[in-house]
Amino acid sequence: MPDNANIAASHTQAHGSSYDDKPAKPQCDSIKLNEIGPNLLEPSAIEPSATKPNALKHESVVAEQKQKVIFIGLPRTGTTSVSVALLEQGLKVAHMAFTKEAFVQADAISDAPCFSDFKQLDELFPKAKFVYLDRELDSWVPSMQMLLSRMLPHLDAKIGRFHPIMKRSFRHTFGVGVVENPQDEQHLIDCYQHHKTEVFNYFAGRQDLLSIDVSQQGALGQLLAFMELTSAENHNLSFPKLNVGRNVASWDEYKHPNKISANAAGPEKRKYFDYKV
């Protein structure tokens, strides 16, 4: 199993959530609807987007777009930290993307559906770079249990308020709605290890994947170097510690003009790609 260093190889094809302190024992308190960011809700619960449409390219010509970076680490591995850090670097960032237009507008995309759909996104964005976010299991498992304790009611296939793309990602990767107890410790460990193995097997022999642990010293410098955004003064940069403990809404609370809505509307309104997972 590869470690947290760069994954080196040649590209053979012509593509929650930040780290946090180990939280207290998970509590099964559901997220209140007024605490749910609009990016997470299903389309019927969202007000019409004020985003001005850009020229939306069809899937067959998406490859002509500029290079993107797609973060394929699981929730609670640092997706908020990397998203905020890249906003500060001047990139347009979507922390989750549920429409074609969100992918078109963003320079960097993380979380759902990236962690579940990385193979399909690799085909759609052949010039993209990918970043796997790793985390120690003894801190990731209780953090993920906490997140699921709050999310599960809204991930229900029939009555859940979360976006269908998010529901699909959590069903595909964590068996939400399929297994009896998706919060079970061993089940989550198995999901994490399966996902990690699948990522490294898929990207084996390529140079377009970086693996980092955002809690490690210098991880931000590694990321910026991988993205060719580095300079002499930021080689040893580390990530700020965000989205700590039970705070799972920090992305919605972070204000920045370069944030791209997960539900951004364009010429095809809020249509998503047509691929199957």
Q: For 94, phi and psi rounded to 5 degrees?
A: -115, 115
Q: How far apart are CA 74 and CA 132, in angstroms?
A: 8
pLDDT of residue 64: 44
pLDDT of residue 19: 35
Tens digit of pLDDT for each residue in 228-268? 987 656 678 998 776 655 444 578 888 999 999 999 999 99
Q: How far apart are CA 173 and CA 147, in angstroms?
A: 15
Tokens representing 256?
């920045």
CA-angle at 149, arms to 175 and 254, nearest 5°? 105
**pLDDT interval class at 69 (50, 70, 90):** very high
Q: How far apart are CA 145 and CA 135, in angstroms?
A: 15
Q: Is the pLDDT of residue 177 over 90?
A: yes
pLDDT of residue 45: 60
More confident residue, 90 or 248: 90
Exposed / middle / buried, residue 111 (Cβ in 10 Å: 0-12, 13-18, 19+)? buried
Exposed / middle / buried, residue 32 (Cβ in 10 Å: 0-12, 13-18, 19+)? exposed
Q: How far apart are CA 29 and CA 91, in angstroms?
A: 35
Tokens representing 41?
């809700």
Domains and CATH numbers, the chain: 66-253 (3.40.50.300)
Instruction: Give how far Cα 235 sits from Cα of 47, 86, 89, 204, Å.
Output: 42, 15, 14, 26
Q: Is the pLDDT of residue 226 over 70?
A: yes
Closest CA relative to residue 148, chosen from 277, 23, 276, 21 = 23
pLDDT of residue 66: 59
pLDDT of residue 40: 79
Mean predicted lDDT score pLDDT of the chain: 81
Tens digit of pLDDT for each residue in 40-63? 777 666 544 443 333 334 443 343
Q: How far apart are CA 213 and CA 225, in angstroms?
A: 15
Q: Is the pLDDT of residue 221 over 70?
A: yes
Q: How far apart are CA 177 and CA 168, in angstroms?
A: 10
Task: Specify the pTM.
Answer: 0.80
Q: Is the pLDDT of residue 161 over 60?
A: yes
Q: How far apart are CA 263 and CA 96, in angstroms?
A: 9
Q: How far apart are CA 38 and CA 137, in angstroms?
A: 30
Q: How far apart are CA 231 and CA 219, in angstroms?
A: 14
CB neighbours of residue 151 within 10 Å? 22
- Starting at the edge strand that comes first in sequence, how are the strands of the sheet with 108-110 ordered? 93-95, 108-110, 69-71, 129-133, 209-212
Tens digit of pLDDT for each residue in 12-31? 333 333 333 333 333 333 44
Q: Is the pLDDT of residue 91 over 80?
A: yes
Exposed / middle / buried, residue 3 (Cβ in 10 Å: 0-12, 13-18, 19+)? exposed
Tens digit of pLDDT for each residue in 178-209? 999 999 999 999 999 999 999 999 999 999 99
The H or E element that residue 64 is part of is none
The whole-angstrom distance between residue 197's C-alpha and the CA centroid of its chain comes to: 18
Total count of residues recorded for the chain: 277
